[in-house]
Structure 1
């Protein structure tokens, strides 16, 4: 296996999923320039903006993010997204393998509402992600206005 199921990655995944832990994202990177061994690169509690700042332009990376939003004054929702980041300076062979290798990661980060394929940090705009999560989640109390 690629290491996606390493104890530190599983612990970070549980932290992101936990209502009692402030951690709201994790980032998985390749341990070396070649090969498929994965490692936990970072975790944080600063949301999608902080996650976007941790991405490496020369890497394929995988992230898992907890996104909280309010539908109305009475309702707060928590949803999860898997991010497949292919940095703009990533080498061709690494890019080519990302589609295959992301499957092992998604098996470990199994509980998510959407997958975000990102090649630009703007792909992680919180407003856009929340809009996608609302659509994926069914009930939309804002009449589709995001």
Structure 2
């Protein structure tokens, strides 16, 4: 079981969800290699590319990101993404624990439109992810200009 009891995790989650906040993403990582305790590793403004800059190949982490999705200039919706990051150099035991701990993390970071598991920074392809969000978003009134 992952320890996600630090109150700053819930506070930052609420901050990311708040449209008035500049903080649009957060990253949780393990306190150390042997720990099951997750801590707030980073948070900030910007989009997926800024979030990805804070991830490393030897890191296992969970992230949460707010993005604005639009089909046209009149239709802008806020959507959230839950991300499991498993860097290519993460040890086998940590990978195994990560797959079990994801359910504990989702009890805190619970509202999201899509879930992504990323292993490389190239997995943070913003146009592709925005397309997934549009498809998950329900009504699409602008089918002609987007590749679905």
- TM-score, normalised to structure 2, is 0.93
Q: 1:145 matched to which residue of 2? A: 147
Q: Secondary structure at the match of 1:80?
A: strand
Q: 2:71 matched to which residue of 1? A: 71
Q: 1:84 matched to which residue of 2? A: 84
Compute the RMSD of aligned alpha carbons: 1.3
Q: 1:60 matched to which residue of 2? A: 60
- TM-score, normalised to structure 1, is 0.95
Q: Secondary structure at the match of 2:53?
A: helix
Q: Secondary structure at the match of 1:88?
A: coil
CA shift for structure 1 position 3: 3.0
Q: Secondary structure at the match of 2:107?
A: helix
Q: 1:133 matched to which residue of 2? A: 133
In structure 1, list runs of 5 or more residues that go unmatched.
none
> How many residues matched?
146
CA shift for structure 1 position 69: 2.1
CA shift for structure 1 position 141: 2.8
Q: Secondary structure at the match of 1:54?
A: coil
How far apart, CA to CA, are the structure 1 residues paired with 2:54 and 2:87?
12
How far apart, CA to CA, are the structure 2 residues paired with 1:107 and 1:137?
22
Q: Secondary structure at the match of 1:58?
A: coil
Residues 87-135 of structure 1: CA distance to partner in whole angstroms, max 9, x if unpaired? 0000111011111011100111000011100001111111111111111
Q: 2:100 matched to which residue of 1? A: 100
Q: Secondary structure at the match of 1:89?
A: coil
Contact 2:31 2:39 in 1 (8 A): yes
How far apart, CA to CA, are the structure 1 residues paired with 2:93 and 2:2?
17
Q: Runs of 4+ in structure 1 displaced over 3 angstroms?
A: none
